[in-house]
Amino acid sequence: MSGLGGLNKSPHGLVIGLVQLQLPDVGTPEQLQAQTRRVCQLVGKARRQSPVMDLVVFPEYCLHGLSMSTDPAIMCDRNGPEMEAFQQACREHDIWGCFSIMEHNPGGNPYNTGVIIDNTGEVRLFYRKLHPWVPVEPWEPGNLGIPVCDGPNGSRLSLAICHDGMFPEVARECAYKGANIMLRTAGYTSPIRHAWKITNQANAFCNLMVTANVCLAGSDGTFNSMGEGMVVNFDGQPIVEGNGFADEIITAEVRPDLVDEARIHWGVENNIYQLGHRGYVAVKGGATDCPYTFMQDMVRGQYHLPWDDDVKVVDGRDFGFPSPDREYQPEQ
């Protein structure tokens, strides 16, 4: 299915490159500029490595590393120079790209933001991480929902950033909105390796959706990220699995058309359809109610676990962040 990593591209294939980017150590505007140049250079490497590559994917924290710094001097803007550099790199090398920035937020903590840019330099998807990896990360919870965009060669793309992929509801929302490929970018370190692999596979199988997933790699002198680029087919089977080598680009060809075909023709294990059509053999069209208490309570703003009041870690103080007193106000 992988076409030897895209060396034998089929007419309906999409070749994806996952960059196991060397974990950077960035603390100053000058270092941010240098890392931006480095990422753009690797866009060129991806194109030279694979003349038929359609999409190159960089990990979360590709510019900022794992310091969790919220210093305004190294935060990025939606139309800032870092974004302009990514857009120019995609134009120059005629390739789609997925990138990560920590985005300045005048109303609170910065956002952890991911973008997809097409081969003409147009921003096609702009996403703010819904589920920061608490209590470690200080980022503002995302407020843009889960966008989906049309991609190359019949693909429809979505993006989940790191911890987002641990929530089956995020992957389900990506597929529900039509994505046939979910990108997952991360900065995870090795203790998460097993959870990384099984969730990448479950997200694919449970939604009949390809998942393409990549972490930072190497060490910044403090942390070691794990690399582990991984493309999983819609049946949950890995197509290609990477390693821990920094700056290696893992490639695979996927077939969005076969994802679309399976979603239409599968009966057994077409779970994303069957979720909203329970027991259609017994009742016409299946049951279309919502029997799940947690869904109903969340819509009402009343999500409350049986052990909710006993949870001990409810802020970031253990990781040096002050306990917040500002309540979340979703945009109307």
**Catalytic site residue from 76, 98, 149, 162:** 162
Tokens 């150590």 belong to residue:
25
Catalytic residue among 76, 82, 98, 129: 129
**Is residue 162 annotated as a catalytic residue, yes or no?**
yes
Q: Which of 60, 82, 140, 253 is catalytic?
A: 60
> Is 60 annotated as catalytic?
yes
Strand, helix or coil at 87?
helix
Annotated active-site residue 82? The verdict is no
- Positions marked catalytic: 60, 129, 162
